[in-house]
Structure 1
Amino acid sequence: MPWLVVRTKPRQELRALQNLENQNIQVFLPMLTSSKVRRGKRVDIDEPMFPGYLFIQLTDTLENLHKVKHTFGVLSILRFGQKLAEVNDELIVELQKLNEQHSVRLKSAPEPGDKVTINDGPFKGFLAKVIKLDGASRCIVLLDWLNQQVSASVDYSQIEKNQG
C-alpha cells in the first residue's frame, strides 16, 4: 500500500499523530532536532521535519479515508485534483532509517564563550569571541579591531566555531 500525505492543522502534528495511532492507522511523522534560543539560552527542540504534514499507510483505503478526514488535528488528505498524493515507499523507508539511527540536527547556535571565525560581512576573516546570544539567529561577538575591543552583532550563518 502506498503512503499518503496528511495535512494537519497548524502546530497539531503530534495531536493528529496520537489520534491516528489510536485508530490503529500506521503513521509516520519525521522529526528533527534543532537548537533555538529561548530567553537568552540555547535549547534543543524536536520539531516536525515537514511542518503541517505527516504520512499514513492505510490497509482499507475507502473505509479509513473517512476516519482520517474527521480525526482531531487533521485538516485534510493531500490530493492533486481527484488523485490522492502518494509517496514512494522507498522514500519513507529512508526517512525512517534516518530517524532511527540518529536525530537529524540542524546547525546549532553558538554558546557564549565560544571562539569563532567570521566568514562573511565587513569583519570577514576576524577571530572573535561570542559574548551574548541576541535572538533566534544572531549573537554579539567581541573582536579586536584597530587595537580596540569592539562588539558586533552577527548572524549565526556568518560565523564558524573554531576547533580546539
Structure 2
Amino acid sequence: MNKQPHNPFIDHDPEPVLLDEADDDGLNISLEAPADEDDPTRLWYFIHCYSGYEKKVEHALRQRIDTMGMKDKIYDVLIPTEDEIEVKDGKRRTVEKRVFPGYVMVQMTLDEDSWYVVRNTPGVTGFVGGGNDPIPLRPEEVKKIMDRMDSEDKVVKVDYRIGERVRIVGGPFNDFPGTVASLDSGREQVRVMVDFFGRETAVVLSFMEVERM
C-alpha cells in the first residue's frame, strides 16, 4: 500500500488509538543502541500521550523500534519516575510516582523516519515543541530529570492538609482532636492545634501519630 506524502514535522493529531489501561504486559525489549553517546544529533525529546497510558506507550514504542529496525535512530524510551512515601491511617508505603503524567521521554536522532515511528505509535498525541519542530531538551534539563530520578530523598505525602481536622493517635495527646497548622515533609512532622483545658495548644507530632477524622 502506498503512503500519501506528508510533511513529517507538521504536528497533526491522527484519530486517537485507545490502549488497554493495564500497567504492564510483560514486554521487555532492550534497545541497546550502537550510536556514539557524543553524537550531537542524539537528543532527548518529550512526547505527549494519554495520561495513565505512559507504560503502554513506552512498550508499544519499544516494540515498533525493534520490529521496524530503528535502533540506530531511536536509542531509549524513558518514563521519569520517583519514589514517594505515602502515610495513611498510620501506615507507610512507598509508591512509584510519575514525575510528568502524560509525558514520555525519547532519545533519538530526529529525521523523517524516526519522527514517523514515534509520532504514529498508538497513544502518542504529539511531540512537545513550538511551531512545526519538536524541541529537544537541553543537557542541563536532562541532567536535572536524571538526578531527580536517582535521588535518595523521598517525597512524603500525607492524606491531610493544613486547616483540616485530624485525630491524634499516639503519645500523651492520644485520641485528642485538633487542626493541622503546618507540615514539615523533611522531618516528617505535623504541628496540630489542640484544645487543652480550654487553651489552644500547639503539639508537634510525627506523621504516623495523626490521622484524618
Question: Smaller-chain TM-score range?
Answer: 0.5 to 0.7
TM-score by length of 2: 0.50
Task: State yes or no: 1:141 paired with 2:168.
Answer: yes
C-alpha deviation, 1:32, in angstroms: 0.9
In 1, Cα distance between the equivalents of 2:104 and 2:144?
A: 15
Identity %: 19
Cα 1:41–1:149, aligned 2, differ >3 Å: closer, same or farther?
Answer: closer
- Higher strand content, 1 or 2: 1
Unaligned runs of 5+ in 2: 1-40, 66-70, 185-189, 192-204, 207-213
Aligned position for 1:154:
180
Unaligned ranges ≥5, structure 1: 111-119, 122-136
Structure number with greater Rg is: 2
Matched, 1:92 2:142: yes
1:87-112 Cα shifts (integer Å, max 9, x gaps): 1123213422442454x5212449xx
Q: Deviations over 1:123-144 (max 9, x none)?
A: xxxxxxxxxxxxxx98522687
Residue 55 (structure 2) aligned to one of 6, 9, 14 = 14
Q: Counterpart in 1 of 2:79? A: 29
- 1:151 maps to amino acid: P
| Aligned-residue offset at 1:60 | 4.6
| Cα RMSD, aligned residues only | 3.5
Q: Distance in 2 between matches of 1:56 and 1:37?
A: 33
- Kindly tell me the number of residue pairs found equivalent between the two proteins: 135
Indicate yes or no: 2:110 matched with 1:46. no
Return the TM-score normalized by structure 1.
Answer: 0.62
